[in-house]
């Protein structure tokens, strides 16, 4: 990051000092609830029925299968949350982007600072999540530590395209639709809760073109260690592509919005 | 030294020409105003000067530099007070200034000292630790002024600095601006309040439809484009139009407004007596001096604030 981008990042860090308690608490409670109800509760049924030797679940308990998938999904949700309303607010409500642009900061610094902040938030959420996993004793390998930066990439692969989109919106109406018709279906059907091999074959290409499936595969692969390095790199490359395209388009839409 | 120089400065948004080839020279230390109604092109001009709106055509130099190539360098020496406040409502008054100072790469410790000094200047020291949200409109405006001064700017751009404020709050803002002017800061402001333009500006341009309709000091503009006095005759709505032609011999120029007639004359009292002798019964009669409002009405045929 340039020093100018660091300065715009400082704004986000300052505002976070007001809200960090709530956000950190939510960071603990959310995975706790999911892992307890689905991982332990539902998972005991699955394991009894299927046996943890099932190749469908990569030969691990359901809880161990679910955990890295949930990590990726949580990263997606953090990335989405941080790139919708906060972006809208900075254009329309607090107008903080306009404030920044009245100073030596450039649009590129403004975008870079905000993306870096969102990455920080996803990192924090993913780190807390991993801590909760350790408590549940589901961590399969030190690879989970690599899953944290992987989760940051998953979150950014959603955040940067959504930032680009949010910059074109006058109201927040579209965000509810985005959550209901994109984020929620991806959460349910991208392999977090069950492998997509359980779905009809024709649905598989849909998973392949959405970032969350790649994110789940990447995080799970790093945790369980059952996937080749080549395919891990492939998944990471897809996520990186979404992130990069998102940044490039965001630079355009931000300029259109701020420099007219 | 010229702080702002424009030649044939033009801004188009698609088919709409917001600023239509204007020429400007603003000298250092001058208080320069853009007066005009909404949509006259004032804010578009200001945003080009603030380097956040690309120039469509023509030449613009701010502090000797081209906004297209030296935006960040120019902005480092500008203070901007936008039409809509850009304060963070959740942060404290002091943090709003510090965060903004950091954008200028002012070290954190120094930013704190600057914030304390500027909050003193705008009389917000007691509110330094409070959140911004509950502050009054006038206090928020003063905070915006404090924030715009963090980089000790050479030029202060004020887009409608007191719109929406009550009279007391407006005077508090004006008072701060006089002090800055006395310190040699160049003030460039837009307003649609003629009293604000008269109070603050050494020189101003009247803008209408993207063009400069007239320019000069407030006194020069009044001398050139109006008479020393104005006689206002108030009639019931609609009556004035029929009466106006019967008074044509008393005044070179009569403006017909919905509720009154304005007679532009050298001596209002004399004309008022003439009107009284004609057995007309205006609801009320008022003699006043010409203002920039009259200049604007004369130049454009329209009122500034309607």
- Structure tokens that stand for A92 in this block: 């329309």
Residue A197 banded pLDDT, cuts 50, 70, 90: confident
Q: What is the pLDDT of residues A4-32, one digit of tens each?
A: 999 999 999 999 998 899 989 988 898 88
pLDDT string in tens for chain B (306-residue length): 899 999 999 999 999 999 999 999 999 999 999 998 888 999 999 999 999 999 999 999 999 999 999 999 999 999 999 999 999 999 999 999 999 999 999 999 999 999 999 999 999 999 999 999 999 999 999 999 999 999 999 999 999 998 888 888 889 889 989 999 999 999 999 988 888 888 899 999 999 999 999 999 999 999 999 999 999 999 888 888 888 888 888 888 898 888 889 999 999 999 988 888 887 888 999 999 998 888 888 888 776 654
Chain-chain contact of A4 with B105 (C-beta, under 8 angstroms): yes
Across the interface, of A3, A8, A94, the residue whose CB is closest to B88 is: A94
Pairing of strands B229-234, B284-289: antiparallel
**Candidates A23, A103, A107, A113, partner chain B, best to mutate (most B CBs within 10 A):** A103
Contacts of A104 in chain B (CB under 8 A): 72-73, 75-76, 103-105
pLDDT > 90? residue A50: no
Chain A hits for B98, CB-CB cut-off 8 Å, are 14
Any A CB within 8 A of B99 CB = yes
How far apart CA B74 and CA B65 sit, in angstroms, is 7
Nearest CB among B76, B82, B99 relative to A11 is that of B99
Q: Name chain B contacts of A90, Cβ cutoff 8 Å.
A: none
pLDDT at A250 over 60: yes
- Answer whether A177 touches B (CB < 8 Å): no
The whole-number pLDDT of residue A1 equals 65
A46 touches chain B (CB under 8 A): no
Q: Inter-chain contact B91–A15, Cβ cutoff 8 Å?
A: yes
Beta carbons of B90 and A15 less than 8 Å apart: yes
Which is nearest to B153 in space by CA: B28, B9, B23, B6? B28
A22–chain B Cβ distance below 8 A for any pair: no
Rg (CA), chain A: 19
Of B91, B103, B148, the CB nearest to A100: B103
- Nearest residue, CB atoms, B100 vs list A3, A4, A99: A99
CB contact under 8 A, A259 and B54: yes
* Residues of B whose CB is below 8 A from A94: 86-89
Residues of B in contact with A99 (CB under 8 A): 86-87, 100, 103
pTM for this prediction: 0.90
**Selected residue of B99, B106, B154 to mutate for chain A interface (largest A Cβ count, 10 A):** B99
For B44, the closest chain A residue by CA position comes to: A260
Give dist(CA B90, CA B127) in Å, integer: 14
Residue found by looking up tokens 């004793």 in the block: A137
Residue A106 — very low, low, confident or very high, per pLDDT cuts 50/70/90? very high
Question: Which of A6, A18, A19, A102 is most worth mutating to test chain B (most B CB atoms within 10 A of its CB)?
Answer: A102
Put simply, whether B228 touches A (Cβ < 8 Å) is: no
| DSSP per-residue string spanning chain B | -EEEEEEEEEEEETTEEEEEEEEEEEETT-EEEEE--TTSSHHHHHHHHTTSS--SEEEEEETTB-HHHHHHHHHTTEEEE-SS----SSSBHHHHHHHHHHHTT--HHHHHHHHHHHHHHTT-GGGTTSBSTTS-HHHHHHHHHHHHTTT--SEEEEESTTTT--HHHHHHHHHHHHHHHHTT-EEEEEES-HHHHHHH-SEEEEEETTEEEEEE-HHHHHHHHS-SEEEEEE-STTTHHHHGGGGGGG-SEEEE-SSEEEEEES-HHHHHHHHHHTT---SEEEEEE--HHHHHHHHHSS-S--
Instruction: Using an 8 Å CB-CB cutoff, list chain B residues near A11.
Output: 88, 99, 102-103
Considering only alpha carbons, which residue of chain A is nearest residue B69?
A: A106
Question: Residue A138: its pLDDT value, please?
Answer: 79
Yes or no, beta carbons of A3 and B105 under 8 Å apart: yes
Q: Do residues B8 and B23 touch, judged by C-beta distance below 8 A?
A: yes
User: With contacts defined as CB-CB under 8 Å, which chain A residues touch B75?
Assistant: 102-104
Is A7 in Cβ contact with B102 (below 8 Å)? Answer: yes
Spatial strand order of the sheet with B253-256 comes to B253-256, B260-265, B229-234, B284-289
Q: Which residue among A3, A10, A102 sits closest to B80, beta carbon to beta carbon?
A: A102
What percentage of chain A exceeds 90 in pLDDT? 67
Burial of A181-212, coded b for 16+ CB within 10 Å and e otherwise, reads ebbeebbebbbbbbbbeeeeeeeeeebeebbb
Helix (H, G, I), strand (E, B) or coil at A239: helix
Q: What is the ipTM of this complex?
A: 0.89
């Amino acid at each position: 990051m340039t020093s100018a981008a660091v300065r715009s990042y400082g704004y986000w860090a300052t505002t976070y000092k007001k809200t960090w308690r709530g956000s950190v608490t939510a960071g603990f409670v959310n995975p706790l609830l999911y892992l307890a109800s689905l991982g332990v509760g539902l998972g005991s049924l699955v394991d009894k029925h299927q046996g943890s030797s099932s190749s469908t679940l990569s030969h691990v308990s359901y809880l161990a299968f679910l955990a890295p998938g949930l990590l990726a999904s949580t990263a997606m949700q953090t990335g989405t949350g941080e790139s919708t309303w906060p972006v809208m607010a900075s254009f329309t409500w607090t107008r903080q982007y306009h404030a920044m642009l009245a100073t030596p900061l450039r649009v590129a610094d403004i975008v870079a600072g905000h993306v870096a902040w969102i990455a920080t938030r996803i990192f924090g959420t993913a780190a807390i999540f991993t801590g909760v996993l350790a408590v549940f004793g589901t961590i399969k390998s030190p690879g989970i530590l690599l899953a944290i930066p992987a989760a940051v990439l998953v979150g950014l692969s959603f955040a940067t395209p959504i930032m680009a989109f949010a910059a074109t919106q006058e109201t927040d109406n579209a965000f509810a639709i985005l959550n209901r018709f994109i984020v929620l279906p991806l959460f349910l059907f991208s392999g977090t809760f069950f492998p997509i091999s359980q779905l009809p074959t024709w649905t598989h290409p849909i998973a392949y073109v959405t970032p969350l499936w790649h994110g789940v595969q990447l995080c799970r692969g790093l945790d369980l260690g059952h996937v080749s390095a080549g395919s891990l790199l492939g998944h990471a490359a897809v996520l990186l592509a979404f992130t990069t395209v998102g940044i490039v388009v965001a630079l355009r839409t931000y300029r259109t919005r701020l420099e007219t | 030294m010229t702080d702002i120089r424009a030649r044939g400065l033009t801004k188009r948004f698609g088919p709409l020409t917001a600023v239509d080839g204007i020429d400007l020279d603003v000298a250092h230390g001058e208080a320069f105003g853009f007066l005009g109604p909404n949509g006259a092109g004032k804010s578009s001009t200001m945003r080009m000067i603030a380097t956040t709106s690309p120039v469509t055509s023509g030449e613009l130099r701010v502090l000797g530099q081209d906004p297209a190539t030296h935006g960040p360098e120019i902005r480092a020496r500008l203070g901007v007070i936008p039409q809509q406040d850009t304060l963070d409502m959740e942060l404290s008054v002091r943090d709003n200034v510090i965060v903004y100072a950091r954008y200028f790469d002012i070290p954190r410790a120094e930013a704190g000292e600057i914030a304390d000094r500027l909050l003193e200047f705008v009389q917000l020291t007691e509110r330094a630790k409070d959140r911004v949200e509950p502050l009054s409109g006038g206090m928020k405006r003063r905070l915006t002024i404090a924030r715009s001064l963090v980089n000790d700017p050479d030029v202060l751009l004020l887009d409608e600095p007191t719109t929406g404020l009550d009279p007391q709050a407006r005077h508090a803002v004006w008072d701060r601006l006089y002090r800055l002017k006395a310190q040699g800061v160049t003030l460039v402001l837009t307003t649609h309040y003629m009293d604000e333009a008269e109070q603050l500006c050494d020189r101003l341009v009247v803008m209408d439809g993207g063009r400069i309709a007239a320019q000069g000091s407030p006194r020069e503009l009044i001398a050139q484009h109006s008479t020393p006095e104005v006689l206002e005759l108030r009639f019931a709505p609609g009556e004035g139009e029929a009466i106006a032609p019967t008074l044509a011999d008393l005044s070179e120029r009569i403006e017909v407004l919905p509720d009154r007639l304005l007679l532009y004359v050298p001596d209002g009292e004399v004309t008022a007596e003439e009107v009284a002798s004609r057995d007309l019964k205006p609801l009320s009669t008022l003699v006043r001096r010409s203002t920039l409002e009259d200049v604007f009405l004369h130049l454009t045929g329209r009122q500034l604030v309607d």
